[in-house]
């Protein structure tokens, strides 16, 4: 087991093919299944530092959303919720623990609302809130990314996103752990290249009432994240009946990258409930 866990990030991805392309996924560990859903600027590798601890007690499933990582961009309309259901059916997992980061957190919420009997517990790390009234800083970020992509300057768009989501508004690059920007740059480029086609075909977030989430829920926010997402995290924690809010003092938006040890320490007992 130790050798398997130490090399889990090097495992070959498996493919689940369909008419729209395929989903790439990887499985490691043994025990009750946990599914990790990555952020919208990353891929399954964002969980590399968290997986070994989780895989000591769980079967850990990671996959790349369509148009991210090794999953092909879609060739027609698709639903992230349906994709997750198909993956669980394929793997034979009737009921799972779901952990989602950023956009992956919203995918997890939508799945819990659509298939409540298939979710044992839910962990949401800086998820977005549909229809949220974004701050001027967030609007400025979106404008800068849009301008860079319109100009065909992919490198500039990558820098804009790294500044917003990895560095965050409250620290300098010297304060970010060495190597994180390099690890994120490739999956971020892939997400930006495929952003238009994914956005065109995705059915987007559902509009269900999160108060209907009926499973134990952990909501995580980074104290160094954009203020909007700290506010949104508290909103989820207040709206979901059985929710607990956890704040990570050393993390910005991508908690699994900034504070993997702290995150694993929180997820361990929560997932064991």
User: What per-residue confidence (pLDDT) applies to 206?
Assistant: 74
CA–CA separation, 146 vs 141, rounded Å?
A: 9
Residues 6+ apart with CB under 8 A from 198: 66, 67, 73, 74
- Tens-binned pLDDT, residue by residue, of the chain (273 aa): 333 333 454 578 999 999 999 999 999 999 999 999 999 999 999 999 999 999 999 999 999 999 999 999 999 999 999 999 999 999 999 999 999 999 999 999 999 999 999 999 999 999 999 999 999 999 999 999 999 999 999 999 999 999 999 999 989 999 999 999 999 999 999 999 999 999 999 987 777 899 999 999 999 999 999 999 999 999 999 999 999 999 999 999 999 999 999 999 999 999 998
Joined together, the tokens standing for residue 94 give 């009737």
Tokens 């498996």 -> residue:
14
Domains of the chain from N-terminus onward: 2-134+194-271 (3.40.50.1820)
User: What per-residue confidence (pLDDT) applies to 26?
Assistant: 98
User: What per-residue confidence (pLDDT) applies to 208?
Assistant: 84
């Amino acid at each position: 087991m130790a050798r398997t866990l130490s090399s889990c990030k090097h495992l070959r991805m498996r493919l689940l093919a369909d008419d729209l392309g395929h989903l790439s996924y990887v499985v490691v560990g043994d025990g009750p299944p946990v599914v990790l859903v990555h952020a919208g600027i990353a891929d399954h590798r964002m969980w590399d530092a968290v997986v070994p601890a989780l895989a000591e007690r769980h079967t850990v499933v990671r996959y790349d959303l369509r148009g991210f990582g090794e999953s092909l961009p879609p060739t027609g309309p698709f639903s992230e919720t349906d994709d997750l259901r198909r993956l669980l059916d394929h793997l034979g997992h009737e009921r799972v623990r779901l952990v989602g980061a950023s956009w992956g957190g919203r995918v997890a919420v939508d799945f819990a609302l659509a298939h409540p009997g298939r979710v044992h517990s839910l962990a949401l790390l800086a998820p977005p809130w549909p229809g949220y009234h974004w701050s001027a800083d967030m609007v400025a970020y979106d404008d800068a990314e849009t301008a860079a992509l319109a100009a065909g300057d992919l490198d500039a768009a990558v820098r804009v996103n790294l500044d917003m989501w990895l560095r965050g508004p409250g620290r300098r690059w010297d304060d970010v752990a060495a190597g994180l920007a390099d690890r994120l740059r490739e999956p971020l480029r892939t997400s930006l290249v495929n952003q238009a086609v994914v956005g065109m075909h995705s059915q987007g977030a559902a509009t269900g009432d999160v108060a209907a989430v009926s499973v134990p829920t952990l909501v995580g926010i980074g104290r160094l994240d954009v203020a909007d997402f700290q506010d949104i995290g508290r909103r989820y924690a207040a709206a979901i009946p059985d929710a607990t809010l956890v704040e990570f003092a050393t993390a910005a938006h991508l908690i699994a990258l900034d504070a993997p040890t702290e995150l694993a320490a929180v997820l361990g007992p929560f997932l064991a409930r």
